[in-house]
Structure 1
Amino acid sequence: MRKIIAAINMTLDGVFDHTAGQPDEEIHQHYTELLREGDAILYGRITYQLMQYWQTLIKNPSGEKSMDDFAIAIDKIPKIVFSHTLKNTDWDSAKLSNQPIEKEVLELKQQSGAPIFVGSRSLIIQLMKLNLIDEYQFCVYPVIAGAGLPLFENVNDRTVFKLVKTKTFSGGAVILYYEPKSE
């Protein structure tokens, strides 16, 4: 049975925003290695479209090794996109899901293989409400965004987590690894 791992960036004030933090070489290397360990990543339309930026570095490498390596890793990992508005994807390693998220994720969990990552705020909230996430990896940047979308918007049920590990980066970001804990 595969693990479903929510891996996402956030600020100290709980705002989800891929642009609020400043990922450095060390963080890019971490996520490159993480992506190499997974079988797929799940995205909603908005995050998928944001991540398409990395395709430009496949065609025109930046010369910054950590960014170029991340671009290769994100390009290779299969992406499953959940969208009601997209009709197709223009990324060879991406496909639109043709079934509801709960059904798709339950089928993925039942298969053997490496972890499946969830990289979109909206999907994390949906899967959290369905109790389908096995591990959360929150990369917390030492930044107060001051405004933006809170990561756990519209979550009304109490959820308790068990801290299983931390990883600190030299630039001050910290990844907190949590598992849901039954009360």
Structure 2
Amino acid sequence: MRKIIAGINMTLDGFCDHTAVIPDDEIHQHYGDMLRNAGVALYGRTTYQLMEYWKGVVENPTGNKQTDDFAVAMDRIPKIVFSHTLTNVDWETARVAERDLEEEVQSLRKQPGKDILVGSRSLIIALINLGLIDEFQVMVHPVIAGGGLSLFENINDRTALKLVNTKTFGFGAVTLYYELAKK
């Protein structure tokens, strides 16, 4: 059975705001590897629309190897978008989900293939509440944003986690790898 992996950036004070962090080559390499090792990525509408930026980078590379490699990885991975307002998407490797989140994820989980990456805050929260996240990869950036969207708000129940690994980046970010703690 495929694992559901929640992967997201967060500031030191717990906010998810892509404008508060500045990814460098090392971060692009890390997330490019993450995408290449996953079988599908799940996004909500807002995050998906932010990710569409990378289509342009594939068409017009920056000349920076890590950035351009990340763009190619993002372009290639199959993407499923969960939205109440989008009815179609124009990225060849993306589609709008036809079922609700729980049904779609349960179906994907049973299929053979690489793990399922969840990269949207709203989907991570919803999947935590459904008990469907197997692993968390939270990159904590050395930035205090002072406000924004909290990663772990509106969680229904206490969820105990076990730290299984860490990865430290040159500019001070740390990725914390957690699995669900045994009950």
Fold conserved (TM > 0.5)? Answer: yes
The offset of 1:31, in angstroms, is: 0.9
The runs of 5 or more residues in structure 2 that have no matched partner are: none
The aligned residue for residue 160 of structure 1 is 160
Give the letter for the 1:112 counterpart.
P
Deviation string, structure 1 residues 69-118 (Cα, Å, up to 9, x no partner): 00000000000000010011011100000000000101111122111100
Runs of 4+ residues deviating >6 angstroms: none
Q: Distance in 1 between matches of 2:121 and 2:182?
A: 22
Q: How many residues align?
A: 183
The offset of 1:182, in angstroms, is: 4.0
Q: Confirm or deny that 1:12 pairs with 2:12.
A: yes
The aligned residue for residue 43 of structure 1 is 43
Q: Confirm or deny that 1:129 pairs with 2:113.
A: no
The aligned residue for residue 147 of structure 1 is 147
Q: Distance in 1 between matches of 2:119 and 2:144?
A: 21
Which TM-score applies when normalising by structure 1?
0.98
Q: Distance in 1 between matches of 2:156 and 2:118?
A: 21
Q: Distance in 2 between matches of 1:155 and 1:17?
A: 19
Give the letter for the 1:52 counterpart.
E
The aligned residue for residue 108 of structure 1 is 108
Deviation string, structure 1 residues 15-69 (Cα, Å, up to 9, x no partner): 0112211111011001111111111000000000011111110111111111100
Q: What SS does the aligned partner of 1:84 have?
A: coil
The runs of 5 or more residues in structure 1 that have no matched partner are: none
The aligned residue for residue 176 of structure 1 is 176
Using the aligned pairs only, state the percent identity: 62
Q: Distance in 1 between matches of 2:170 and 2:179?
A: 25
Q: Distance in 1 between matches of 2:18 and 2:78?
A: 20
Q: Distance in 1 between matches of 2:126 and 2:156?
A: 12
1:77-116 paired onto structure 2 within 5 Å? 77-116=77-116
Give the letter for the 1:59 counterpart.
E
Q: What SS does the aligned partner of 1:39 have?
A: strand
Deviation string, structure 1 residues 155-178 (Cα, Å, up to 9, x no partner): 142111100000000010000000
Q: Distance in 2 between matches of 1:76 and 1:13?
A: 33
Alpha-carbon contact 2:129-2:156 (below 8 Å) kept = no
Give the letter for the 2:8 counterpart.
I
Which TM-score applies when normalising by structure 2?
0.98
